[in-house]
Structure 1
């Protein structure tokens, strides 16, 4: 596990991060809901070995960035990442976000596209994509449904739903166990706040979409292909991988990211 030596004092939390020096643009990895920076360690190590600058962090209320004493919202998560980027003086970084991290990354680019060199989204719904009435209903239902799962069972239930490999599930249990049931539900509700359909919006910077072939989380399996078609980019579907694609198939994900950074895919 990477030692997150960096500390950024923000309202209600000490944000923990590490900044591995290297060539620009820096790649900022943003993990999924209830997870932590560990889910990107394989990709970060590979990029750092190639001389790339890499930033890993634990988002507010998750991993080592606990406790959080403020109400968790989508806006607060976005502001935290903006504050860290400013603190580190990053110029035109590439954002790489998984699930919740992908939602945050999309929102950052939507607000300030000129500040980023690229967007990598892994197993995340399309913030600006259309929603059917049933999808809207399921989004509203997800929080109450999670509340029904006993707290002691939640890490294993979520891990089984998120990963298909033994290694992926084992680490998911570890990560999810760090977050209280209340905290996990708060994180999920913040995730839902990012969904804001806009039929005319298109990503104005280079975009890479990656999805685990066996991801059954929410509407990701339909939203990401539709997003790829709308943006006229390839969707990289990784076989034998679920929602936690970076841990189920770390090598395949790393290869796709390296090619994207080299300008070989869009």
Structure 2
């Protein structure tokens, strides 16, 4: 199985398919690279790169406490190890925070930044509550409940829900807790104004608790393109994969 070594103790599992402009997906805590299984047809148009962040899926547990900058640095090492100088960076949900941090730290390596249901900070009550549910589930040992909730929320059929649930359970419990905590305190809102690279924001039209962040992006990054997917809530990669893949083909080739 393909791995990239971050150091002597941490290795990241990754998969890559296809040829063309590199397109890297960053998943939210727990779900791993398999949350983007329905984006695999994009390998006909891009060099598709999927990976498990440290402490998730088939990757190693972290050797130090997890922070968003640490996870962004991991992305830098992964891309450098794969010989990728510039890539389209696509982050989903809290994976978008890692994508944002990577773009702020390494703008020279970003061809385009894409956020699916992304946010620069956690400042709305519903989103705050979701993070704390993840923290409490990890801390109190309710791992089965958390894996079931993530699987039910994202799966489109019984087989897919079973696959997601099994993969979430591969995550290191301590790392999952610290990753949720890192995402909860992360904030780059005032740094958004420094983004000069192309930014595409994709939201579900019914993902109401995320829409407050659209105003933030419009204020700090007025050149951003914003796309709303009709009838969609938050789980766009799995439940609205056709629309998402079409949007990425159109904007990724510009």
Same fold (TM over 0.5): yes
2:198 to 188, 195, 206: 206
Q: CA deviation at 1:262?
A: 2.2
Question: Cα distance 1:205–1:48, how it changes in 2: closer, same or farther (>3 A)?
Answer: same
1:81 to 75, 81, 89: 75
Taking the TM superposition and a 5 Å limit, the aligned residue runs for 1:132-211 are 145-146=136-137, 147=139, 150-160=142-152, 162-163=153-154, 165-166=156-157, 169-198=161-190, 201-211=193-203
2:93 to 74, 99, 112: 99
Q: Partners in 1 of 2:168 and 2:211 — Cα distance?
A: 23
* Superposition RMSD in Å: 3.0
Q: Partners in 1 of 2:169 and 2:27 — Cα distance?
A: 15
Q: CA deviation at 1:144?
A: 5.4
Question: Cα distance 1:19–1:172, how it changes in 2: closer, same or farther (>3 A)?
Answer: closer
| SS of corresponding position for 2:248 | helix
Gaps of 5+ in 2: none
Q: Partners in 1 of 2:108 and 2:28 — Cα distance?
A: 24
Match of 1:39 in 2: 35
Question: Does the alignment pair 1:10 with 2:9?
Answer: no
Aligned length: 250
Q: CA deviation at 1:64?
A: 0.9
What TM-score results when the alignment is normalised by the length of structure 2?
0.83
Q: Partners in 1 of 2:63 and 2:194 — Cα distance?
A: 36
Q: Partners in 1 of 2:36 and 2:150 — Cα distance?
A: 18
Question: Cα distance 1:234–1:136, how it changes in 2: closer, same or farther (>3 A)?
Answer: closer
Q: CA deviation at 1:237?
A: 2.1
| SS of corresponding position for 1:210 | strand
Question: Cα distance 1:243–1:178, how it changes in 2: closer, same or farther (>3 A)?
Answer: farther
Match of 2:246 in 1: 255
Question: Cα distance 1:68–1:48, how it changes in 2: closer, same or farther (>3 A)?
Answer: same
What TM-score results when the alignment is normalised by the length of structure 1?
0.80
